[in-house]
């Protein structure tokens, strides 16, 4: 039987393995973010620091746009908070999968580094969410995000934006790799995923939702769909 130290070491290695494709996707996406930061007047170092402290593309794009518009600090803070509010839902969900014995410092670090992709791979693992698994993924994913932004800032506007945007396809491929395996095993999960796609498309296309920001749409859809799924298709504790 493995000791706690051996389990943590194994989880860390698994995190590194699963974090590599995330790092590659981050590197591609954050490159275009770096170009936007450069055009907003940020230096290479400032661009690097921004991505090192804010692991969210939507929040960073919003913040950089406001910086370019010379907005007040409070406006930047509020906009970033709104754009990243969905992570509060993810960390609340992840907290339910953490062992009660997990210390506060581990919980805080996991919360700080929770992103869509890291949340997806952490929550999909059976049993309690091991902090060291996330640390392993973060060890490769976070540098990919920060250094990708710095490289984009260095490149500036040399490369065509269309070429840079095309590289982000790798990130969508990674998302498919996360959702397809459980969908193949469970018809309910497959149905919920299809419904999520349809609801997201409707929210983005219908004029009635045009006045709602993308971040707010994501929050509303997440709360409504997850609540409905929990009520209609409850899971026994033994299945978790």
H or E segment at 90? helix 86-95
Q: Most confidently modeled of 50-54, 74-78, 220-224?
A: 50-54
Distance of alpha carbon 59 from alpha carbon 65, whole angstroms: 10
Average pLDDT of the residues in 209-228: 77
Q: Give the pLDDT confidence score for residue 142 in this predicted structure.
A: 94
Retrieve residue 187's tokens: 């018809």
pLDDT reading at 80 higher than 70: yes
- The pLDDT tens digits for 127-160 are 888 999 999 999 999 999 999 999 988 887 676 6
Q: Give the pLDDT confidence score for residue 89 in this predicted structure.
A: 83
**Residue 125: pLDDT band with limits 50, 70, 90:** confident
Q: Give the pLDDT confidence score for residue 160 in this predicted structure.
A: 67
- The pLDDT tens digits for 151-179 are 988 887 676 666 656 655 555 665 676 67
The answer, as to whether pTM is greater than 0.95, is no
Q: Give the pLDDT confidence score for residue 135 in this predicted structure.
A: 95
Phi, psi of 56 (to 5 degrees): -155, 120
Q: Give the pLDDT confidence score for residue 145 in this predicted structure.
A: 93
H or E segment at 173? helix 169-185
Return the percent helix, strand and coil in the chain, to nearest 5: 80, 0, 20
Asked if residue 137 lies in contact with residue 19, where contact means CB atoms within 8 angstroms, the answer is: yes
Q: Give the pLDDT confidence score for residue 159 in this predicted structure.
A: 67
Asked if residue 171 lies in contact with residue 26, where contact means CB atoms within 8 angstroms, the answer is: yes
Residue with tokens 């982000």: 168
Phi, psi of 136 (to 5 degrees): -65, -45
Asked if residue 161 lies in contact with residue 32, where contact means CB atoms within 8 angstroms, the answer is: yes
């Amino acid at each position: 039987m493995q000791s706690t130290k051996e389990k943590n070491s194994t989880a860390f290695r698994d995190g590194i393995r699963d974090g590599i494709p995330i790092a590659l996707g981050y590197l591609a996406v954050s490159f275009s973010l770096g170009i936007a930061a450069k055009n907003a007047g940020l230096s290479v170092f400032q661009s690097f620091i921004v991505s090192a402290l804010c692991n969210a593309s939507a929040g960073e794009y919003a913040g950089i746009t406001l910086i370019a518009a010379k907005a007040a600090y409070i406006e930047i803070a509020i906009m970033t908070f709104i754009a990243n509010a969905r992570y509060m839902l993810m960390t609340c969900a992840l907290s339910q999968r953490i062992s009660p014995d997990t210390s506060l410092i581990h919980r805080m670090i996991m919360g700080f580094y929770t992103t869509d992709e890291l949340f997806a791979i952490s929550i999909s693992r059976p049993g309690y969410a091991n902090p060291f698994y996330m640390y392993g993924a973060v060890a490769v994913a976070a540098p990919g995000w920060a250094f990708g932004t710095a490289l984009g800032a260095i490149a500036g506007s040399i490369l065509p934006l269309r070429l840079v945007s095309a590289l982000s396809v790798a990130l969508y491929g990674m998302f498919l790799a996360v959702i397809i395996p459980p969908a193949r095993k469970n018809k309910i999960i497959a149905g919920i995923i299809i419904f999520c796609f349809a609801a997201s498309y409707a929210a983005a296309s219908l004029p009635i939702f045009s006045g709602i920001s993308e971040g707010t749409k994501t929050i509303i859809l997440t709360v409504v769909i997850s609540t409905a799924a929990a009520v209609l298709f409850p899971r026994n504790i033994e299945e978790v």
